[in-house]
Every structure is written in C-alpha cells, then in structure tokens.
Structure 1
Amino acid sequence: MRPFYPILLVGVLGPVSAKHRSRIRPVDESKLPFPKGPLVWGDVNFVHTTDIHGWVLGHHHSTWPEPNYSANTGDLYSFLTHLRSQADKAGVDLLLVDSGDHHDGAGIVSVYPNTQEHSQHYRSGGSVVDYHLSKLGYDVLAIGNHELYKYPDALQVADDVRDGIWDKVDRKNGGETSTRFLTSNVEITLDGRNRSESIGARYSKFKTRMGKDVTAFGVLYNFSFNAKNTAIQPLREMVRESWFLEAIQDRPDFFIVAGHMSINRADSEWQLLLDAIREVHEDVPVFIFGGHNHVRNCERLDGNSISFAGGRYMETVGWVSANLTKNESNEMDVSRRYLDSNRRSFKYHARVPDHKFDTHEGKAISESLFKTFDRWNLSSVLGHAPQSYFLSRYPVTDDRSLLKKLMDDVLPATVYDDKVLQHGRKRIYLANSGCQRFDIFKGEFTIDDQYSISPFSSPFVQITLPARIVRVLRQKMNDEGASQFAPSPALEQGMSEEVVRKAFDASMVKQRQDYEDRRQRELEFLRLAYGQTVFDAEVERESDLVHRYGYVTEDNCGPVGSGDDVEHVPVPYAPVPDYVSTTFPEGVDDEEPVFVIAMTFFLNDVVKAVSKIDPAYPPITYSDFEPCGDSSMTSNQVWGHYARKHWN
C-alpha cells in the first residue's frame, strides 16, 4: 500500500504564499539571460536530470550564477507539461530520464525531524525528495551511490519503489503499471529475508506514446563503498547474465541505458555495455544517460548512439533529440542542449504566454515543498554572513575562500578540547576539501545553507605527534593524494567524494583557462587595432560580466559551448588541494608534541603519511585517535554553530 502524503493536499493554488517563501525569494526573471534559440526536436526526445542531491527547491541566492538555477521541481513539472503537449501535437516522443544521486546535499534531503508528525508523512528526507520528483513522471531512472552509503537510505529507496511511486502505465502490457526505477546490477537484502533482490526492476520493456518499443536498463558503476546488505554486481559480470542476454534478444526501436557513471571514455564502462548490445543488434539506436562526476558532457561511442550527462544540483536540465531514420552515413542525427534550470529558460522553450506557464499541479508541488521547507525550519536564519565565501572561486590563501575561513576561524571556534586550550598546547586542524560541497553567500545564513555546504556527518578526533612530523603532514598528504582505500564508512564516503570533486574541478578550471586565453587574445587585438583607451575600457567592462557567469561546456559532440542553451562567461575557478590545514604555529621545537585535529573521513591518509614521513616513528593506528571536544559537533554542524555565535 502506498503511504499517505497529506502535505500535498493543499487548498486554493494561487501564487506561493509569502508565509512559505519567507526565506526563498523569487528571482527577477528579467535579469536572467535568454536562450540562444529554440530546441531542436527529433523523432524521439529526452529530458535528463542527474545528481540532484536534494536541490528540489532550486537555488535561491542572488549571487551569480545562482539565479540561473532558480527553478524548483514545481516549475520543472509545468515545463515538462508544455513540452509533452508540444511532442503530442508534433507526433513525436518525449521521455524523461534520471541518473541517480538524489540523496546527500541540500537541507531538505539532509535534515529529517525525528517526530511522529513528520514520520507519518515521510520515511526520511530522501523520501520527501523522491516523492516530489516522482510527480514529474519519469520514464527511466537509475540509482546513485549516495543512495547506498547507508542501509536505511537504500531501504527507503526500496520501500518507495515497492509503494509504487515510480510506477508508470505500460502500454506494451495492456495498460498495466510497472516501476521505471531500474537497478540492473544493484541488490538489497531486506530484513527477515535470507536472499538479496533487485532494489528496483532489472530492466523494463515498454511502448512510448507514439508506439515505439523500448528496452531500458539502469546501472551503477563498480561502487565498492556500499552499505552492508547491499550489493553491486560488476558490469562485466552483469552483461553475461542470462536475464540480460534474454532481455536484449528482441529488437526494440531503441535502447535506453540510464546509469550513475561518468560518460568519459577513460573512466567508465559504457563501451562494455554498448558492445554487449551491439553483439546482438548492430545498428539499433542506444541512448546512454550518465552522471556521477557532476560535469556536463556528451560522447558518441558509435554512429547510432549518444552518451549524455546533464551536470548536477538541478543547475542543468539536459535535452537530447534524435531522428531514428538514418542519414546518408547510416547513422542517426542527434542534437543535445544544456538548459539552465530557471523559469525564463523554461518559459522560452514552453512556447506559451507567461500567464499560462504555471500549471495547477506544478504550483501544488512547489507549495508542498515550500511548506515542508518551513515546517522543518530550514528557512531559520542562524546568522548573517558578512561576505561571500567561495569553495573554489579563489585560491585557498584568499580571504574569500570558504576553506580558508573554515580552517582559520570556524574549526578553531567550534571544535576543541578544553584541556588542550587550558594548557596552551599547540594544535593544528586538518580537513579534506571534499567534505565541503558549496559556497556561502553574503547575507542570511540558514539551516538549509548549513547542510547544503556540508551534508556529510563526520566526527572529529585528535592525536599528538612530534612537531617535525606535523609541520610537513599536510603537504605529504597532498603529495600522496586522497586515498581510494577506506577503513571505515565515513572515510569511504569522504574518499569517494574526492574523485567527484577532482573531475568537476578539472572541468571548471579548463573552462576558465580557455576563456582567459581567448579573452587575452581579444584584448591584445583591441589594444593593437584601436589603442590603449579602447583596451582600458574593455578591461574595465570585465567587472560587468558577473551576471553572465555560468557553464561553458566542452564536450565531444560539437564545438565548445555549442550545446549550451545560454552563452555564458565561465566562473573564475581556482583548483583546491585535497587537504587543507591551519597555519603551523611558530617557535615550536621539532620534538614538541602538537595536537592534530581531523575528521574521521580521512584517517587512513593521516596514518599512511606519518609512516612515510618518518618510517622509524612508532606506527599509529586508528585506536590512537581520541574524540575531540563535544561529540555532537560533527562536520555538518560546525558552520551552524559558528554562525549562531559570530554572525549575529
């Protein structure tokens, strides 16, 4: 039986009330850039989301480029309604696909009031997110690694699947409903059972509205940090399973493979899956939708396939279209677009008058989310940030760096051992940069901001080491790089996030560097052709480009930026090291003991670095670390405590 969700039963659905938007202010749509042109439609068309991480309410800060991503799930519902209407009128198909990672991120997925009132409505924050997303009418979904770090999260996903929230009418089987949440290589052992079973369906075969036969799968990369009683089958084994070989025997009009896996050729196994299909069907179109590394990307593994990934955090809504009739080269023509997730972009492509954009159901979803946001006190203001602090926009030595603020001020003020302070003992703090996920913006700092910045809960521990080791510890850890081997669940999650951060950082750094190189050539041309005055004026204009900040996508499906729906200027981006620390204290003798305070995320790397700095030093183990300060002060609590005390 499906659970009852009374929060969605709202009354008159006018504009979202001010009461529920007390801290989420609407964006001035007139300041948002227009898309560069209409979408290209084909015989079959797809809207893609991935790595939502709880950002179902959109981005609601005014610092650019945040307004570009200000649409919420209700806005997306209305947009999809109009796109589906366009598809029906044109006699073409439109399908909605998601590639996983709904958990761990914005406040609404990270905070769950443990009260009877809330527990009878939803199982968890993840259940809230999934329930509202399910209203969008997905055709195919895959699971992400963030649904599998903790068994209760995996169980919530399995229970929601069994409650039918992802079910859809199957025209292929007489109008029966079936789940579209596909976990082809992910299983769970349910309480009281001695066998594992697929969390969702292993595959789905269905007909589209226009009568096309589809075979679909949902996969996860070879993730090894999953919770006990969950299992991920390696893809190399999955493609040899009898059920998979049987599933691909019939020739569909096209395949859909959604998966939580990077689509970069170098670090994924999409080619393996495509080859398995190609052994049976040489030229059937295959549409691959990936994710995980938070990067907008597109690949063509062969002439009759396209691999697409639409970014992260509801910043991007992906668009892929194709004509199934082959061209002169016996290949299918495809088009892709990366849409900024905001109401101006949605309205432009919806092709309806502004006053007809919002649908009854879309407004109901928005209202439900805002009510939940309010009821869970996510809009509660903890303090007022005196300035913005950016995770990667500036070097970690810059006063505008979030990581510098964390190390210099926040951790020393919130995580400490009273005895260490009383005796004036020297200490340093260590943190892995991957534990921080987002920026802080000047002005109101809310509970939602607190968890959006740092959704992961890691305790703090401490150990005393000789100053000569501590002095070079951070540098040694950065030289070695973040470990991929993990002794504990907390560390497993931390290290996995480092991989994602590095992939995203590399993409963003390249975007900015390419832009600055092009810009430098343009400025030099202006100086030579028109003189210093024009040159100086153009340099001065650079500060006016902030409102154009956004993604400039470089993929393998066309020239740089050609897939972007809006032309942007890349956000300034500075690479950050794996590890950061407070400044080492001055005037300390080599053998003087220094307290090292760290998160349990990365103790493995601390242990390894110490042994490499001084192999003769007595080996340290995890049992040598002891709790530091208040045990309730975990990594996702420090910003909130600091804001209450210092930003009021």
Structure 2
Amino acid sequence: MKLNLAVLALAVHSVASAATGQQIFALKRPDRRALTPGEYTFLQTTDTHGWFEQSGETYFGDWGDLASFHQHMKKKYPNLLFFDSGDKHDGNGVSDASTPRGHYSRRLFREMPFDAVTVGNHELYNTEVATLEYEEVSQHLGDKYLSGNVEIWRGEWRPYGNRYKVIERSHYKDGKTRRILTFGFLYDFDLHPNNIRVTKVRDAVKQQWFLDALDNEEYDVVAVIGHIPLRSWEFPQLIEAIRKRTKKPLVLLGGHSHVRDAVQLNGEFDGPSDVYGIQGGRFLETLGWLSLNVTGQESTSSSRSYIDFHIDGLKFHASHDPDHSKWDTALGKSLTRQLSRIKKKLDLKEVYGCVPENYYTNGAKFPGPSSLLSLIADEVLPTLNGTAEGATGDRVIITNTGGLRFDLLKGPYTRNTGFVVSPFPNNWVYLPNIDIHTAHDILPYLNRKAHILGSGHMVPEEIPQECDMFHAADTKGLLPGYVTLDDYGHDGDDTPHWALPYYELPNAIQTEMPPDDVKYVDLVFYDFIAPFIQEALYALDRPDYFERLTDYGGKGLNELLKDYAEEHWECRY
C-alpha cells in the first residue's frame, strides 16, 4: 500500500507562568477554526508522558480542564467517542518523580472517562511498571483497556487488556444504534521485560480471536487505537487484514511518533478505501479530532482537526462563555485538586537555579549555542564522575538524543524541569581501554542508523520557512505552535500559528575526543544503548571489546543537570 508522507513543522513552545500564558493568549485571540462533528466523532489524546498540565502561551490548562471539556462536549455531541493511544510515562515529574514511577499518575489517568485506551511502549520497559500498569489501570478499566498483541505473565500468559470492544452510540435522530468494533494494538516493540510478550502485528491479525471478531460481531465501523505512527508499517498490515473480512469504514487512531498527522485512503493507486486516521501529537499539547459520516453503503466523508490544548480554545469549541464561572465540572475540579496535591507532595516546584536562555532540541541547529545537545555534550556530560576503579581518565561519553525529551527553557530550573528534559533513570557502563580509532568510528556508525532508542518510530519532515504559508505578513499576531500539512491539506490546526524552524537531530552525541596522541580511551555510555554499541563494534570488526563491558557508576543525566544548574545558573531576582 502506498502512503504519502505528512509534513509537519514543529514549533518551540515557551513555558511561561500560568497567569502570563493566559493573559498573552487572551490578548492575541487568534481566529480559530471550528470543529466539524459527524455521525461518528472521535476525540483523542496520545503520548501524554506524564504531562497533566500545560502553562505556556500556546498551551494552557490541566487534566481537570480536559475532563470538563469532555463533559461539555458530550452534552453538545452525545455520540462523542473518547480514546487514548498510550505512553503515559517518561517525560514529567508527575509520572516519574514518584516511587514507584507512575504511582500517582496512574490514578489520575484512570479517572478520565475514556471510552477505550491502549498501552504504549513506555508502560512496558520495566517489569515493575508493566506489572503496576496492568494491575492498577488495565484491571481497573476492564473492557475499556484494549490490547490485541500484548500479554503479561501471571503464572500463564494472559492478554494485557481486553482483545476488543464493541462500543455503542444511540443518540441519533433516526433512532438507530451505531456500533463501533474497537481494537487496540502496539507497534512491533521488542525491548520489553521477560514478563511481557508482544506479538508482531502481522502475526496477531492471523489469530482466530481477531478473525472471529471481524466475522461474527455486529458493527458499523471498525476503529483501531494504535500506539503506532499512522505511517508506520504496522497499520498497512492491520488495514490489509481487516479489508479481507469487511469493507466497512475504518478509523485509525495513531501515536508514538509525537506528531500531528492525519490520513485518508480512498482507493487511489489500487489501495484500500474508506480508511481515515488521526494522530494527536504529544504532551497534552494537542487533542485529535476526527469525524466520519456514512451517507451510504459506498459513500463516506470525513473531517479532522488538531485542537490546541488551551482553556480558551476548549471553551470556544464547547460553546462555553469564556467569562462564565461554571466551566469546571465536579470531576474537573477533583482532578485539578489531586494534581496540585501530587505536585506539592513530590516537591516538583523546588528551584535549583535559573536557566539564563532557551536551549532547544529540534528548534536549534546542532552544534550551536542554542542547542540543548551542545550544552549536554560540551558542558554537562564532562562533569560525570565515574566510580569504576579501572577507569583510565581519558574517555569519551556517548548518549542517545532520544533521551532528551523536551527543550530546556529560560526561567527557574525546578525538580520537575529535570524530568521534563531527561526523565530516564539509566545507568552508566563503559568499555575500558579501547583503541582510539575504533572509538572515533562508533558515533558515525550510530548516526548512520535510521534511529536509536527513543528517537521515534518515524520522523516528521520539516516545512521550510520560505514556504508561502509562512510569510511574515501572514503570521502577525499569532503565537508559536504547530503548522501541520497532512492528507487533508493544511487547515487542520484549530488555531493558526507561526512555526519556528525544525532541525533533524543525530541519533547520538558525545563529548570531545581526546588529543590525537592518545592511543586508548574508555568508552562510557548508558546501559540502555548497549545493544547499539555492541552492533557498532561488530560492524567495526572489534566485537571482543564488548566483552569488557562493566559498570561505570556516577550520576544520571537528570542529576548532572541539577548539579550544573546549582553551580552555574544562579537566580538573580
């Protein structure tokens, strides 16, 4: 099946104070594009990664506002369907600062009235986290937690969630009930612990339960909630398998790659028809919206939108008076109070220093003075003090850029900042005394690969700034944000934005190489990328070096950043 690539320009988002964000947004009130409802209307979150709150200019609101928005929209559109496509961990202190990780965030998540959810890879890296997600979220949500290709060992292999669910909607003028056969799938993830089993999608769709559901259940539309990028290979495998059993309209709800995207397949190039998909970004910045009308057995139409998560915009779409005091529902108030207590309990507002300027991931060229990668490689990683007795002193430290989850923005460096920028609790390991020539060749090898762990399943293309869509006259008065081009066109963002540059990142970065007269160095890296280092050594004909792998010790990047902030970024109030 042939799919066109979506193009997306990813803006850099400033995280100002809550009051400042709301005031600026109100002053600039952009012309918002209205949402189009349909016979079937889908609202989606995905890849929240512990972000239960946004407090910047472009995005502003919290988990309670989402609950209130959903309730108001259900009154307006009673047939609304509300889904989440997974990845609730690794990216914010609300989920990552607790012991165990996700202790509080799992409770917040499961109180949101989703109609169905699926599991992401970040729920499955760790044995303890995977078990707690199953016990505290999957079992709590029951048949709303869908997982067609993930199993957990509980004395025997059990499905991680319900295999599928038929969801009914009946508030239609013709009095007829519509039924949505809904599945949940994870991409072909293979970095899970031993108590988890993930069946490849191409094999899962051959299993009898899947075929029986398509053949025997009564339904009008098929929906697949996938922690899968819309343009990754697993969705074509699902589409092909479903189209062998039914020609009914198919809706895909994607995730994992942190982009806004939408697809519509209408039989071009002899491909499948009546397939529509939405993917709603990341970090509670975006709510995906997809509507579908079935006007006849052979005729469908659809619309999509990307909703900026800002309380003013949410009120606009809910037809709610922005000055009316009754926006917050009982559930919304409860979730906001719980979130506030969690942040206080975890000391997420504790300040360690004040960042003097913005350091960007994709928003700045690397290497460069505004690049977060340059700051990490040149200033922060060299402060690592290992505890291994055999370290020589001459060393090179490598880390993967996928471990850097967000920009480091000007302002207070708090406990939460560390989890926003670098949430992963990895351990340093090293290969002692390897020859300098091999050390020189490892980073280029890693950066020739399509991606390394954490860098994403798919990477969006950059929209060049010289494109007519971005003339300065057209962006006057707009806030920074996403400018998305997908299969439907470039009018999907509900709020027009101006887009900052988007630069591709290397897979990995390293500290400066020692002088040329050094013949041997210690190679230091996170244990998380050890398989890729081993692969590189095999490719360089030095697999024997990997046999030397041992613990290096020292603080993780989260702690190194904290120490750097305390030493170099004094707050001057």
TM-score (norm 2): 0.87
User: Which one-letter code corresponds to 1:336 in the other structure?
Assistant: R
Q: 2-side partners of 1:364 and 1:405: how far apart?
A: 40
Name the counterpart of 2:545: 620
How big is the shift at 1:36? Answer: 2.5
Q: Does 1:550 align with 2:507?
A: no
Name the counterpart of 2:144: 180
- Paired residues of 2:18 and 2:60 also in contact (CA < 8 A): no
Q: 2-side partners of 1:281 and 1:618: how far apart?
A: 50
How big is the shift at 1:86? Answer: 0.7
Counterpart mapping for 1:142-153 below 5 A: 142-153=118-129
Pairing partner for 1:288 from 242, 247, 252: 252
Counterpart mapping for 1:329-348 below 5 A: 330-348=298-316
Counterpart mapping for 1:232-311 below 5 A: 232-248=198-214, 249-264=216-231, 267-282=232-247, 284-302=248-266, 303-311=273-281
How big is the shift at 1:607? Answer: 4.0
Pairing partner for 1:71 from 61, 72, 78: 61
Q: 1-side partners of 2:354 and 2:166: how far apart?
A: 52
Q: 1-side partners of 2:65 and 2:416: how far apart?
A: 20
Q: 1-side partners of 2:388 and 2:569: how far apart?
A: 23
How big is the shift at 1:417? Answer: 5.7
- Paired residues of 2:427 and 2:553 also in contact (CA < 8 A): no
Pairing partner for 1:27 from 15, 18, 21: 21
Indicate how the Cα distance of structure 1 residues 620 and 256 shifts in structure 2: closer, same or farther if over 3 A, else same: same
Q: 2-side partners of 1:231 and 1:357: how far apart?
A: 43
Question: Residue by residue, what CA displacement relative to the aligned partner does 1:579-612 show, whole Å, maximum 9, x if unpaired?
Answer: 21222244x32x5323333222323433444555
User: Which one-letter code corresponds to 1:442 in the other structure?
Assistant: K
Q: 2-side partners of 1:40 and 1:230: how far apart?
A: 40
Q: Residue 453 of structure 2: SS of its match in structure 1?
A: helix
Name the counterpart of 2:526: 599
Q: 1-side partners of 2:388 and 2:159: how far apart?
A: 49
User: Which one-letter code corresponds to 1:368 in the other structure?
Assistant: Q
Q: Does 1:410 align with 2:391?
A: no
Name the counterpart of 1:352: 320
Moved more, 593-602 or 406-415: 593-602
- Paired residues of 1:103 and 1:147 also in contact (CA < 8 A): yes
Pairing partner for 1:496 from 444, 447, 453: 453
Counterpart mapping for 1:48-447 below 5 A: 48-58=44-54, 60=55, 62=56, 67-88=57-78, 93-113=79-99, 124-161=100-137, 163-164=139-140, 166=141, 179-190=143-154, 193=155, 195-210=156-171, 211-248=177-214, 249-264=216-231, 267-282=232-247, 284-302=248-266, 303-326=273-296, 330-354=298-322, 355=324, 356-416=326-386, 425-447=393-415
Indicate how the Cα distance of structure 1 residues 369 and 446 shifts in structure 2: closer, same or farther if over 3 A, else same: same
Question: Residue by residue, what CA displacement relative to the aligned partner does 1:421-466 show, whole Å, maximum 9, x if unpaired?
Answer: 9x8x433322221111111111101111101111112212332233
Q: Does 1:478 align with 2:403?
A: no
Greater gyration radius: 1
Name the counterpart of 1:518: 468
How big is the shift at 1:384? Answer: 1.1
Q: Residue 484 of structure 2: SS of its match in structure 1?
A: coil
Name the counterpart of 2:564: 642
Q: 2-side partners of 1:472 and 1:234: how far apart?
A: 33
Indicate how the Cα distance of structure 1 residues 33 and 419 shifts in structure 2: closer, same or farther if over 3 A, else same: farther
Q: Residue 637 of structure 1: SS of its match in structure 2?
A: helix
Q: 2-side partners of 1:602 and 1:304: how far apart?
A: 41
Q: Residue 477 of structure 1: SS of its match in structure 2?
A: helix
Q: 2-side partners of 1:374 and 1:545: how far apart?
A: 39
Indicate how the Cα distance of structure 1 residues 477 and 143 shifts in structure 2: closer, same or farther if over 3 A, else same: closer
Indicate how the Cα distance of structure 1 residues 147 and 562 shifts in structure 2: closer, same or farther if over 3 A, else same: same
Indicate how the Cα distance of structure 1 residues 157 and 471 shifts in structure 2: closer, same or farther if over 3 A, else same: closer
User: Which one-letter code corresponds to 2:524 in the other structure?
Assistant: I
Q: Residue 379 of structure 2: SS of its match in structure 1?
A: helix
How big is the shift at 1:107? Answer: 1.0
- Paired residues of 2:352 and 2:414 also in contact (CA < 8 A): yes
Pairing partner for 1:458 from 419, 426, 439: 426
How big is the shift at 1:33? Answer: 4.2
Q: Residue 130 of structure 1: SS of its match in structure 2?
A: helix
Q: 1-side partners of 2:124 and 2:27: how far apart?
A: 40
Q: Residue 183 of structure 2: SS of its match in structure 1?
A: strand
Q: Residue 126 of structure 1: SS of its match in structure 2?
A: coil
Q: 2-side partners of 1:203 and 1:339: how far apart?
A: 27
Structure number with higher helix proportion: 1
User: Which one-letter code corresponds to 1:255 in the other structure?
Assistant: V
Indicate how the Cα distance of structure 1 residues 275 and 427 shifts in structure 2: closer, same or farther if over 3 A, else same: closer
- Paired residues of 1:430 and 1:580 also in contact (CA < 8 A): yes
Q: 1-side partners of 2:250 and 2:481: how far apart?
A: 30
Q: 1-side partners of 2:17 and 2:125: how far apart?
A: 31
How big is the shift at 1:576? Answer: 1.7
Q: Residue 338 of structure 2: SS of its match in structure 1?
A: helix
Q: 2-side partners of 1:304 and 1:418: how far apart?
A: 59
Q: 2-side partners of 1:420 and 1:240: how far apart?
A: 52
Structure number with higher strand proportion: 2
Question: Residue by residue, what CA displacement relative to the aligned partner does 1:386-431 show, whole Å, maximum 9, x if unpaired?
Answer: 211111211222111111111111111233469899x8x4333222
Q: 2-side partners of 1:153 and 1:180: how far apart?
A: 20
C-alpha root-mean-square deviation of aligned residues, in Å? 2.7
Q: 1-side partners of 2:306 and 2:543: how far apart?
A: 54
User: Which one-letter code corresponds to 1:568 in the other structure?
Assistant: H
Greater relative contact order, per chain length (Cα 8 Å cut-off, separation 6+): 2
Flag structure 2 segments of 5+ consecutive residues without an equivalent: 1-15, 172-176, 267-272
Q: 2-side partners of 1:475 and 1:239: how far apart?
A: 38
User: Which one-letter code corresponds to 1:198 in the other structure?
Assistant: P
- Paired residues of 1:23 and 1:379 also in contact (CA < 8 A): no
Indicate how the Cα distance of structure 1 residues 583 and 566 shifts in structure 2: closer, same or farther if over 3 A, else same: same
- Paired residues of 1:271 and 1:301 also in contact (CA < 8 A): no
- Paired residues of 2:274 and 2:300 also in contact (CA < 8 A): yes
Where do 4+ consecutive residues of structure 1 move more than 6 Å?
418-421
Counterpart mapping for 1:6-25 below 5 A: none
- Identity within the alignment, %: 28
Q: Residue 333 of structure 1: SS of its match in structure 2?
A: strand
Name the counterpart of 2:35: 39
- Paired residues of 1:459 and 1:635 also in contact (CA < 8 A): no
Q: 1-side partners of 2:28 and 2:194: how far apart?
A: 46
**Alignment coverage as a number of residue pairs:** 538
Q: Residue 550 of structure 1: SS of its match in structure 2?
A: coil
User: Which one-letter code corresponds to 1:27 in the other structure?
Assistant: G
Q: Residue 82 of structure 1: SS of its match in structure 2?
A: helix
How big is the shift at 1:472? Answer: 4.3
- Paired residues of 1:98 and 1:140 also in contact (CA < 8 A): yes
Q: 1-side partners of 2:166 and 2:500: how far apart?
A: 42
User: Which one-letter code corresponds to 2:228 in the other structure?
Assistant: M
